Structures are given as structure tokens and as C-alpha cells.
Amino acid sequence: MKKKWIIIFSLLIFIILFLTINVTKYSSTKKLIKAIDNKDYETIESISKKRNFNINRRPYFIKFFATATEQWNLPPLHYACVRDDLKAVEILIKYGADVNLTIDDYSPILYCVRGSDASNYDKIIVY
């Protein structure tokens, strides 16, 4: 019986640590996605230039969390392309966003094509 409680307790600790990592490590990326939504370029720049910030990270470690909250689980550059936000794209690339990173076999330019505004294609292709 004692062994069973130790296993249950260990699993509980593991789950808590796992969720804590998901919440804290990825919170800056979630803030960056929100700033892209709000076209808050000062926040986009301040988060992007943070030391040790992985600008190519998805906002959710586990796809389930994004699906459950009905959020896009894309890196910031891909998301800015979906939103047709050229200024955000420029800021993200300036601070090291990978223009060749593919997510589900789509590069940022393909996410731009999936967006509604065709006027930014030529500007984004420059990068």
C-alpha cells in the first residue's frame, strides 16, 4: 500500500512540474503572440530582444493545450504572417526569427499565402 502512494505522489509531482514548465517557459511566447494580435510593436520588440528568449518557440509545448484553448500553436513569425502584419514580421526577423523554419510542412511565406491579404507577399518574400 505504501508503495502505491509513493508512485501516485511521484506521478503527481511529475505532472505539476511538467505543467509548471509549460506555463512559465512558454509564457513570453504567449505574450508575444498577444502583442502581435494587438499590433503592439513596442511589446513585440521588447520581448523579442530579451536575452535567452527563443523567438522560434511555439506558444504551447503540447498541441493539446492550444487545441483546448482554441489558439494557434505557431511560432511568432508564422503567426505574424497569418495575421498579415508586415511590421511585426520585420521586427521578428530583425531579432533572429528563422524564415526557413517549417511547421507542419509550412514555412512562414506559406502561412502568409494562407492569410487573406495578398499585398504583403512580395514584401515578405524579400526576407
**pLDDT confidence of residue 94:** 93
pLDDT in tens, 35-90: 999 999 999 999 998 888 888 887 766 665 555 455 677 889 989 988 888 899 99
What domain count does the chain have?
A: 1
CATH number at residue 93: 1.25.40.20
Domain span at residue 47 reads 27-125
Looking at the domain assignment, is residue 51 inside a domain? Answer: yes
| Cα distance between residue 90 and residue 23, in whole Å | 27
Q: What is the pTM of this model?
A: 0.70
Structural domain contains residue 16: no
Q: Which of 83, 82, 88 is nearest to 106 (CA)?
A: 82
Q: Which percentage of the chain shows pLDDT scores above 90?
A: 23
37: in domain: yes
Q: In this structure, is residue 85 part of a structural domain?
A: yes
